[in-house]
Structure 1
Amino acid sequence: MSDQPADSAPPRFTRWEQRTEVPLFYASLLFLLGYAFRVLAPHDARPWNDIALALVGATWLIFAVDYVVRLRLSGLGLRFIRVHALDTAVLLLPLLRPLRLIKVYTAVRRRRAQPRLSLYARVITYAGASALLLGFSAALAVYRQERNAKGASIRTFGDAVWWACETLTTVGYGDAVPVTPVGRLVAAGLMACGLALLGAVTGSFSSWLLQVFRREDEKRPPEGG
């Protein structure tokens, strides 16, 4: 997901992305697993806490190496930071890596020569998977910041998951809200992602319904005068 057209990217850059996208997706799951353990496990759960910390650091280092390699192969120099703004954001905040699921799908389809899903199926699948992973990631991040904060209403991970569901679906009951600056920053990001994902699904579903009804109208015999 970048502003650089695929056909204008250097061949070495394209090959690198195709070969590394799926392994990097698995690395992002390992990052999320390590981060989740660090947040949810007791502080005295040694040596597992140290292992989880090492896993988080190692996977982030893999992301950093990949970013540097793609920067060099792109031929864009420092413009790469702006042109590939999402990649830059993902490097700084690895919990945003679910937003790269479109790249993962494209890489898997090319590698296995699988038929392409319809536009509607791709939008709904991408939005659903992204919502699940982003919601879980945001719940972890908010719970880590809020659980010991003064006056916090998010005290358990269950509270954080409930808050993430409210935020992603734009319901916002107001029974669980972040009070820390970092928690509110995460909330703002999740609100923006929730609106975008919900809008994509709603628009795609509406378009699919219109297409179905149009086909039904075309099959219906003309009414007699």
Structure 2
Amino acid sequence: MSDRPSPDPPARLTRWEQRTEVPLFLAGLVFLTGYAVRVLTPHEAEPWNDIALTLVWSTWLLFLLDYAARLRLSGLGARFPRTHWLDTLVLLLPLLRPLRMVKVYLAVQRRRDRPRLDLYARVMAYAGMTAALLGFAASLAVYHLEHRAPGASILTFGDAVWWACATLTTVGYGDATPVTFWGRVVAAGLMACGLALLGAVTGSFSSWLIQVFTREDEKRPPERG
């Protein structure tokens, strides 16, 4: 029997996250596709609705198994939902899975001693991809909630996409707005996400510029009096 100590929980959890990040991202796209089919196709469109429902529930089960594995590998027990609130949130609301980009952003922020453009460019690319996926998911959710509501101004999926673009970019024209309670909840969440994503992009780019300029100043020979 080997006397080598087993890896500590954080190390095991990190390895698990590294191995599952891409498969879970693809599963998130499958979930979003299934949800889109359920929302945008007529209820009598068979067998597409049944296939979409199977995709939605099977991918959510995969997310649940991943959450259980993270909980076990973390060694935190009942504290895991509180300390890993983002994992808990995206399990309960799988349409928010693109928000896991926040972890990538925080990882880059911790590497302040390496002002490499590719790291910050990666964050900006992830932010753009997150915005696109969240906008699409919010468009589906708002269209599903709004298009049959009395007095609704979002009547087509195109209206919902236009509303999501205006909300994410913080423009807010006001020509298309949710009228239902849950539609407005989705809108409030998308507003907060839009501000956070804009902050991630501008913050990353500003941090990279500041570090580059600081290093250039340090390399410059001192001026003679």
Alignment TM class, shorter chain as reference: 0.7 to 0.9
**In 2 relative to 1, CA 166–16 (structure 1 residues): closer, same or farther, beyond 3 Å?**
same
Alpha-carbon distance in structure 1 between the residues aligned to 2:12 and 2:208: 38
Once the two structures are TM-superposed, the CA of residue 89 in structure 1 deviates from its matched residue by 0.1
Alpha-carbon distance in structure 1 between the residues aligned to 2:151 and 2:209: 46
Q: What residue is the counterpart of 1:28 in the other structure?
A: 28
In 2, are the aligned partners of 1:102 and 1:126 still within 8 Å (CA)?
no
**In 2 relative to 1, CA 158–57 (structure 1 residues): closer, same or farther, beyond 3 Å?**
same
Alpha-carbon distance in structure 2 between the residues aligned to 1:104 and 1:200: 11
In 1, are the aligned partners of 2:147 and 2:156 still within 8 Å (CA)?
yes
Q: What residue is the counterpart of 2:48 in the other structure?
A: 48
Consecutive unaligned residues in structure 1, runs of 5 or more: 1-6, 106-115
Aligned 1:51-70 pairs, distance under 5 A: 51-70=51-70
**Residue identity in the other structure for 1:179:** V
Q: What residue is the counterpart of 1:192 in the other structure?
A: 192
Q: What residue is the counterpart of 1:167 in the other structure?
A: 167
Once the two structures are TM-superposed, the CA of residue 65 in structure 1 deviates from its matched residue by 1.1
Once the two structures are TM-superposed, the CA of residue 176 in structure 1 deviates from its matched residue by 0.5
Identity level (%) = 76
Q: What residue is the counterpart of 1:86 in the other structure?
A: 86
Once the two structures are TM-superposed, the CA of residue 43 in structure 1 deviates from its matched residue by 1.5
**Residue identity in the other structure for 2:90:** V
* Cα deviations by residue, 1:7-58 (Å, 9 ceiling, x for unpaired): 9743332222222221111111100000000011111111110110011001
**In 2 relative to 1, CA 209–71 (structure 1 residues): closer, same or farther, beyond 3 Å?**
closer
**Residue identity in the other structure for 1:197:** L
**Residue identity in the other structure for 1:180:** T
**In 2 relative to 1, CA 85–8 (structure 1 residues): closer, same or farther, beyond 3 Å?**
farther
Alpha-carbon distance in structure 2 between the residues aligned to 1:49 and 1:11: 41
Query: Are 2:142 and 1:145 equivalent residues in the alignment?
Result: no
* Cα deviations by residue, 1:79-125 (Å, 9 ceiling, x for unpaired): 000000000000000011111236689xxxxxxxxxx8634312311
**SS in structure 2 of the partner of residue 158 of structure 1:** helix
Alpha-carbon distance in structure 2 between the residues aligned to 1:77 and 1:210: 41
Alpha-carbon distance in structure 2 between the residues aligned to 1:70 and 1:130: 23
Consecutive unaligned residues in structure 2, runs of 5 or more: 1-6, 106-115
Q: What residue is the counterpart of 2:131 in the other structure?
A: 131
**In 2 relative to 1, CA 58–201 (structure 1 residues): closer, same or farther, beyond 3 Å?**
same
| TM-score w.r.t. length of structure 1 | 0.82
| Alignment length (residue pairs) | 209
**SS in structure 1 of the partner of residue 33 of structure 2:** helix
Once the two structures are TM-superposed, the CA of residue 201 in structure 1 deviates from its matched residue by 1.8
Q: CA RMSD in A?
A: 2.9
